Chain A
Amino acid sequence: MRGSRVVAGLVLAYLLLPVAVVVGLSFNAPSNRLSYDFDRFTLANWADPCGPAGLCASVLRSAQIGLLATVLATVLGTLLAFGLTRHRFRGRGPLNALVFLPMATPEVVLGSSLLALFTAGAVPLGFWTVVIAHVMFCVSFVVVVVKARLAGMDPRLEEAAADLYASPWHTFRTVTLPLAMPGIVAGALLAFSLSFDDFIVSNFNAGTMTTFPMFVWGSAQRGIPPQVNVVGTAMFAVAVLAVVITTFRRRAR
């Protein structure tokens, strides 16, 4: 048992080591563009995060795509999850398979096949094609998360609401939706992080537009500006802060 604790500690360290390196490198003044070594401490990268051309624009674009894709995928996925868990209808089995398959399909295949569709339809590649692509692979994940939440819900709660004079619409609004909310929020967060972090599918369907992961990929060939690590560190800090705040607020209630 003690052995498993040691292993657990080492595994956690392994998971967090690169994050520490990212934070460290954000304060690095590299000696040349292709160097990955820590050369000299500096605050210059933090003072000028938007220095490298296109970096901040790509972050902003990724955020916009992420938000749009999240909203759409969450709405579509939540409706699907309700349909699949609450109703029996013909074609439920095949639909379940259709929802599962995108998760089992490699991203290269998802990205390339969609590109072929856009090319065949002469759809100009760019912002919207990437949004469409992201919604497509995020929907399944939202469905899975929301479905799990709905499956764990006591059906008597909705019966109780109906019994207490709530019409079907009121039952949905005052009982079902609030109870499903944690699942919907979790699904939305997952969708956003999948979209914001996606490189492969975006790379196929973005045309000349650049998202943040695409910017990182591109600069990895030419030498990474240290500001990329600033963005990475800032993202990490914001996420940690959000988690801490929500945890404390929940505890305060």
Chain B
Amino acid sequence: MSDLVLQGLTKRFGEFTAVDALDLTVPAGSFFALLGPSGCGKTTTLRMAAGLEEPTAGRILLGDRDITGLRPHQRPVNTVFQSYALFPHLDVAGNVAFGLRRRGVRDHAAEVARMLELVQLDGLGRRRPAQLSGGQQQRVALARALVNRPQVLLLDEPLGALDLTLTRRMQVELKRIQTEVGITFVHVTHDQEEAMTMADTVAVMNAGRIEQLGRPAELYEFPQTPFVANFLGQSNLLAAEVVERGAGYVAVRAYDNRYSVPAGRCRAAGPAAYLGVRPEKVHLAEAAAQVPAGHDSVAGVVTDWSYVGVGNRYLVRAPWGTELAVFSPNTGEGYYPPLGGEVVVHWDPAHAFLLDREPGAGDATTPVAPEPTGVPA
């Protein structure tokens, strides 16, 4: 087993740059997710790794071996396609045996049976793909790729066509199978929850580049860029200026209020910064007196409220007009203010983070509800 290494990988379609000088190392045996919105270049990257798309520039290596110039059938890499691409003229066993046959493996019947067992499709070998449900087709596609024991398995939105419950089940299943076979999985998805549930390492892609790469918790707790902060979950990002870099902390000023963040959670190099805090890290209090010591706070008015079962979502309008998103888990304790009520939102500075901001850029919060009218931006 060897690492999959992409060096300066670039793909241009005419004027459009789909993948922009990508450098990436996928460690052998890992479950790696490429996460990003549609059109960010993640599928193109995957297709170049499979050999289905020719890079404009750059190299693809498996360990020390350069595979950039190899045709798809010459690469020890297999793909699970988004629409599965099962051969309609072959039965399930024929689909799974396809790669083995091409590589001249004799006695593939036992291999095929074992693989169908792994994906829990034993006994369905004689069926045609059209006679299977979506989830079953997905498993056939997986078995058809895995049976070849590729060095890297590429999965292109493999759960995109399944309904929600089936998706959840297959997420667990895929993770189980990956652990069992120990093959490197590169999983392309636009679903942040899917990426975080399954992958050891997640790379967030945007506009042909990787914005941040790391363990799911790292990415979520301490995002690198405003894009990651708002693509992976949701963040309140207030435009702020760094006013002091002290011992162990950084102080910022936002709208005449002073806030502080631990120095280890500061990514802002210049004075212009975003002060970020996740909605579930923000708490509500009835009055300033109830704010715990050491917490930073803002007073505001509840402009929107929705009940979502596991919790309540609020929008609180700050005095300068920005709406902060707050998520209060439904623990049965805590303060649940009424719509229009005056509240104080507060958070532990240890949960806040500072990101670089383009000078002049305003607040970047993602509203959970349509913007109320009459509020100055």
Whether B81 contacts A156 by the Cβ 8 Å rule is: yes
Among A160, A161, A171, chain B packs the most CB atoms within 10 A around the CB of A160
A160 to B90, CA, bound (A): 13
**Interface 1/0 per residue, A141-175 and B, CB below 8 Å:** 00000000000001011011111111110110011
Collect the chain A residues with CB atoms within 8 Å of residue B71's CB. 162, 167-168
Checking B52, B99, B144 against A159 with a beta-carbon cut-off of 8 angstroms, the contacting residue is B52
A178 to B103, CA, bound (A): 20
A189 at the interface (CB under 8 A from B): no
Collect the chain A residues with CB atoms within 8 Å of residue B148's CB. 164-165
Whether B98 contacts A164 by the Cβ 8 Å rule is: yes
A164 to B97, CA, bound (A): 10
Q: Chain B's nearest CB lies how many Å from the CB of A65?
A: 33
A179 at the interface (CB under 8 A from B): yes
Q: Which 5 A-B pairs have the closest CB atoms?
A: A164-B99, A162-B72, A156-B85, A165-B102, A160-B85
Collect the chain B residues with CB atoms within 8 Å of residue A175's CB. 87
B168 at the interface (CB under 8 A from A): no
A112 to B81, CA, bound (A): 54
Whether B89 contacts A163 by the Cβ 8 Å rule is: no
Q: Chain A's nearest CB lies how many Å from the CB of B130?
A: 12
Kindly report which residue of chain A lies nearest to residue B102, judged by CB atoms: A165
Q: Count the A residues whose beta carbon is within 8 Å of the partner chain — how many?
A: 19
Known contacts A170-B102, A178-B89, A179-B88, A156 near B83 by CB under 8 Å: yes
Segment 39-59 of B: residues with Cβ below 8 Å from A: 50-52
A179 to B87, CA, bound (A): 9
Kindly report which residue of chain B lies nearest to residue A179, judged by CB atoms: B89
Checking B50, B52, B87, B103 against A165 with a beta-carbon cut-off of 8 angstroms, the contacting residue is B103
Q: Chain B's nearest CB lies how many Å from the CB of A170?
A: 6
Q: List 28 A-B contacts (CB under 8 A).
A: A154-B83, A156-B81, A156-B83, A157-B87, A159-B50, A159-B52, A159-B79, A159-B85, A160-B81, A160-B87, A162-B51, A162-B52, A162-B72, A163-B51, A163-B52, A163-B77, A163-B78, A164-B144, A164-B145, A164-B148, A165-B148, A166-B73, A166-B98, A166-B102, A167-B71, A167-B73, A174-B98, A179-B88
Collect the chain B residues with CB atoms within 8 Å of residue A159's CB. 50, 52, 72, 79, 81, 85
Collect the chain B residues with CB atoms within 8 Å of residue A154's CB. 83, 85
Q: How large is the interface on B (under 10, 10 to 19, 20 to 34, 35 or more residues)?
A: 20 to 34
Whether B87 contacts A163 by the Cβ 8 Å rule is: no
Known contacts A170-B102, A179-B88, A179-B89, A163 near B73 by CB under 8 Å: yes
A175 to B83, CA, bound (A): 17
Q: Chain B's nearest CB lies how many Å from the CB of A166?
A: 5
Collect the chain B residues with CB atoms within 8 Å of residue A174's CB. 98
Collect the chain B residues with CB atoms within 8 Å of residue A168's CB. 71
Collect the chain A residues with CB atoms within 8 Å of residue B72's CB. 159, 162-163
Kindly report which residue of chain B lies nearest to residue A158, judged by CB atoms: B85
